[in-house]
Structure 1
Amino acid sequence: MPEPTSAAVDLYRNSLRLLLDKDISGWLDLWAEDGIMEFPFAPDGWPRRLEGKEAVAAYMRPYPDHIDLRDFPDLRIHQTTDPETVVAEMRGVGRLVQTGSAFDMTYIAVVTVKDGRISSYRDYWNPLAVQEPGTDFAGSSR
């Protein structure tokens, strides 16, 4: 089955490349000023909603200091009936910088793009992974 193509798909693929390149500033440039990032499954003490590009920036800037992402295998991007919204299924793999331990997280993301910028990003990740010792990697304020 061919991969879907649209401006939203292209922007999302670019966002993943920037994360792998550890170019957080470039990744943040893809965001709308009033963009919202949500973590519906975040455990207690972790942010569930970040409102505005500056809040997203504060959360994401230290990300490369915690996780050395190396690949997003098993990436599947699904277009929705809204051409500005995509659903992505993937794994993020790499290592935890502090411990050198392997990092392997499964994600589902629902991303909406408006005017060529990310306006909404819902990140469904496994909160059980952060309950293991040595996995304080999200750069949150916990």
Structure 2
Amino acid sequence: MTEAGEKTVATTGEVIEVLREAMETGDDTRFIAQFAEDAVYETPFVLDGQPSRLEGFETISKVLGAEHLMKKLLEFQKVSVQVYPAADHEVATAQFTIEGKVVAGGDSFVLPSSVGIIRVRHGKIVHYTDYTNILRGAQIAGVLKQFAESLVQ
């Protein structure tokens, strides 16, 4: 039982649920607000020349809050997440799946979008390693050819 006035902090599972809701509603501000001031966000599967490690809330906010092409191409309607807690209560693996429609044409899609290893401390994300399914996302959005051409330039 907590004392009156004592604030409880979100668990790792609760923070992941907020991420899911923010993805589903397109609320980038709420998504980014889950990161701690000294957080690290890593995306190991990136191309040369792209940042694979973002450090600090300000940098994470700037990059993740930027307008991305995929947001213009895909409409998210439902985001599901499977959470696999680790032995360390601060850590969980989250497997996200997105259902939606392709903006140009209206085709429905189901995208196993990413697997993230997320560490939450004091109710905020301190480390997030995001293994994003970039190729399948580009295929669904109809830009796989353009994506592939960008790899050889």
TM-score band w.r.t. shorter chain: 0.7 to 0.9
Is 2:119 the partner of 1:115? Answer: no
Q: Partners in 1 of 2:117 and 2:57 — Cα distance?
A: 17
Is 2:17 the partner of 1:17? Answer: no
List runs of 5+ in structure 1 lacking aligned partners: 1-5, 136-142
Deviation at 1:99, TM superposition (A): 7.6
Normalised by the length of structure 2, the TM-score is: 0.70
Q: Partners in 1 of 2:106 and 2:63 — Cα distance?
A: 22
Normalised by the length of structure 1, the TM-score is: 0.75
Bigger shift: residues 26-35 or 100-109 = 100-109
Deviation at 1:118, TM superposition (A): 0.7
The 3-state SS of whatever aligns with 1:43 is coil
Deviation at 1:21, TM superposition (A): 1.5
Residue equivalent to 1:36 = 40
Q: 2:87 aligns with which of 81, 85, 101?
A: 81
List runs of 5+ in structure 2 lacking aligned partners: 1-9, 148-153
Larger Rg computed on CA atoms: 2
Bigger shift: residues 121-130 or 24-33 = 121-130
Residue equivalent to 2:5 = none
User: What is the CA deviation profile of residues 41-81 of structure 1, one whole-angstrom value per residue up to 9, with x for unaligned ones?
Assistant: 123343211111112112222244454322224x3101101
Structure with bigger helix share is 2
Contact 1:92–1:107 (8 Å) recurs in 2: no
Q: Provide the identity percentage.
A: 23
